[in-house]
Structure formats: structure tokens, C-alpha cells
Amino acid sequence: AETLSPFIRAANAIPRVVLGSLFAIMFGLSLWGKAATAVVLVFFVVFFNAFQGVREVDRNLVANARILGADNRRLTLEIIIPSALSWILASLHISFGLAIVGAVVGELFGATAGLGQLIYNAGHTFDVNGVFAGMFLLAVLALIAEGLISALEKRLIKWRPNRVSGEIPI
């Protein structure tokens, strides 16, 4: 990841919403163009958080696991990924909203169906109720996804103790 970091940082500087029109040309007006726009919006948030999460792994824990005979595979699966998981899941909370934005922007570039198309058509016909209905459905979708990500988070990091704010672990 350290080797690819400069290239990924350079790619991060490209305006991703503008890529929606490029994806519409490359993939046509299919689901793939919308999905590509959503993936590009989400990738950098998840990558940089996962990258930072891996860098924040306790080096003493890694050294102790190596002393006890952990190979690279076990070290990755049992130390590094669980330690970085809270960073990755936090980025998923943030990035799902960006994925919705990517899908809606992808639909604005010529889709024939979808919530983005509904909002676009309603806006161009001055149908305020249609715009608000589309926004409401997007908000409901985002809340459902947030609940699912929170449930996944509770399941995956149930090993982590709950801390009350201000409590000092002993």
C-alpha cells in the first residue's frame, strides 16, 4: 500500500463526480455506469481509512505475535484486520452516503429509471412534491443501510469492550 499510495493520492485529486459522464460513455446507460460512479466515490474514503487503520495497529502486539510464531497470514487475519476493522467500518458509515450520491449522479447522466431520474424529472417539471418524495426515499434507504452497517459493526467487533465516555480503561 505504501508503494501505491502516491498513485492513489493522485487519483483522489480527480473530480469523481465528473467521471460520471465518462462512465456513461464507457458503460452506456446501464447499471454498470451508476455502479462505477458509486464505487469511485466510495473507494478513496474506505482505502484511506483502512490504510490508516493498518498503520495504527499496536506494534508491540505485532511483535509479540511474531515472537509467539505467528506467520504473515495469521498476523493479518488475527491482529491487523481486527485492529483496523473499526477504521474500516467507520469509513463504511461515511461512504454509504457517498455511494448514494454516486448512484444518483450516475442516473442524472441519462438513466431511464431510478430515484435520481425521478428527482431529475420532478425538478425539471417543477414538481416539488416529486423532488421531496425522491429525497425522502433516499433518506429512508440511507437510514436502513446505516442500521445494517451498525448491526454488522456490532457483530464483527463484539470483542471490543464498550467504553463509557470519559472512562479510563484499567
Rg of the chain over CA atoms, in angstroms? 20
> What span, in angstroms and rounded, lies between the C-alpha atoms of 148 and 128?
30
Which domains are seen in the chain, by residue range?
A: 5-156 (1.10.3720.10)
Q: Residues 69, 42: contact at Cβ < 8 Å?
A: no
Give the model's pLDDT for residue 1. 61
Q: What is the pLDDT along the chain (170 residues), one digit of tens a residue?
A: 678 878 888 888 888 767 777 887 888 777 787 788 788 888 888 888 888 898 888 899 899 999 999 999 999 998 898 888 888 888 988 888 888 887 787 777 666 778 888 888 888 899 999 999 999 999 999 899 899 988 988 888 876 656 555 555 55
Please report how many Cα atoms fall inside a 13 Å half-sphere around the Cα of residue 45, on the Cβ side: 17
> What span, in angstroms and rounded, lies between the C-alpha atoms of 102 and 16?
9
